[in-house]
Amino acid sequence: MTSSSALSIRALTKRYDTGLLALDAFDLEIPAGEFFGLLGPNGAGKTTLISAICNLIRVTSGQIRIFGRRHDDPEARRMMGLAEQDVNLDRFLDVEETLVYHGGYYGMSRHDARRRAGEMMDVFDLRAKAAVRAPLLSGGMRRRLLLARALMHEPQLVILDEPTAGVDFELRIELWRYIRRLHEQGTTILLTTHYLEEAQELCHDIALIRSGRLLARDSPSGLLEAFAAESLADVYVRAMAAA
Ligand SMILES: Nc1ncnc2c1ncn2[C@@H]1O[C@H](COP(=O)(O)OP(=O)(O)OP(=O)(O)O)[C@@H](O)[C@H]1O
Ligand SMILES: [Mg+2]
């Protein structure tokens, strides 16, 4: 079943066991094929939202659909690729194994997984590190491996939680180019970043969130107009000040 909506979130509430309300009756609709940016300060609820979408945490209430399917449907899970904010690589696996195991986990044959892992190592310039275990990679290389792993099973919705945090200038430009290409091929992208210039450069649709609530959502030019702002940084400051 396909749907023109990649992601549909209705009245999503997440209260952690500590009592903290991280998402407050949150609604969000992302059309298929969108390049979407989620912006907000530390603690706004971005990672909570992503964890809920990917069914990594139990939501308190509300509904999430991925291309029309319930988010806890295994098929929905296969349609998503997630690069988490925390670099969570298995320290006992080398680069190639990390990718091949992930492919296996998503139902790829060993042959397909090895072929795709080769492609991903080429794209992310990790070929020379194929037999190196994650703890022996540099920080930027680990970030690249995380992205390569997220893309292994060719997901239609790619979710990137601060993919360029701590990444050098050259790699950032490379990643932008690659993510843009993915988007041009029809992949829906959901990205969080604290780099406003990155959001401005890449995203066609941006949501500003704070304290688990949506403050504003529009195209970069629509946001500039709505907030009578000169730059996305201005929009951000004004939206947060008004919240
Ligand atoms: N497992 C947890 N238990 C309790 N509270 C949590 C848990 N995870 C996150 N929180 C709280 O939920 C709120 C939202 O956190 P979240 O990680 O979603 O923010 P974020 O927008 O991703 O921030 P950042 O930009 O720093 O990554 C914060 O107040 C955080 O302390
Ligand atoms: Mg986060």
**HEC secondary structure over 7-62:** EEEEEEEEECCCCCEEEEEEEEEEECCCEEEEECCCCCCHHHHHHHHCCCCCCCEE
pLDDT at 112 over 80: yes
Question: In angstroms, how far is the first alpha carbon of the chain from the final one?
Answer: 39
DSSP 8-state assignment for residue 94: B
Domain hosting 108: range is 5-242
And the tokens for 33? 């094929």
Give yes or no for a contact between 229 and 221, defined as CB atoms under 8 angstroms apart. Answer: no
Give yes or no for a contact between 205 and 36, defined as CB atoms under 8 angstroms apart. Answer: yes
Region 220-231 average pLDDT: 95
The residue to mutate among 13, 14, 47, having the most atoms of ligand 1 within 8 angstroms of its beta carbon, is 47
Q: What is the pLDDT of residue 3?
A: 54
Question: 10: which strand partners?
Answer: 63
Total domains in the fold of the chain: 1
CA dihedral 188, 194, 198, 199 (to 10 degrees): 50
Residue 65 is part of a domain; what is its CATH number? 3.40.50.300
Tell me how far the alpha carbon of residue 81 lies from the centroid of ligand 1, in angstroms.
21
User: What pLDDT digit, counting tens, does each position of 165-222 carry?
Assistant: 878 888 889 889 999 999 999 999 999 999 999 999 999 999 999 999 999 999 999 9
The whole-angstrom separation of Cα 207 and Cα 225 is 15
- Nearest ligand (C-alpha, residue 39): 1
Instruction: Report the chain's mean pLDDT, rounded to a whole number.
Output: 95
User: What pLDDT digit, counting tens, does each position of 39-76 carry?
Assistant: 999 999 999 999 999 999 999 999 999 999 999 999 99
Q: Output the residue whose Cα is nearest ligand 1's atom 7.
A: 16
How far is CA 100 from its chain centroid?
Answer: 21
SS3 percent helix, strand, coil of the chain, rounded to 5, is 40, 25, 35
- Other C-beta atoms lying within 10 Å of the C-beta of residue 13: 16
CB atoms within 5 A of ion ligand 2 belong to 46-47, 85
Does this model's pTM top 0.85? My answer is: yes
The 3-state DSSP class for residue 188 equals strand
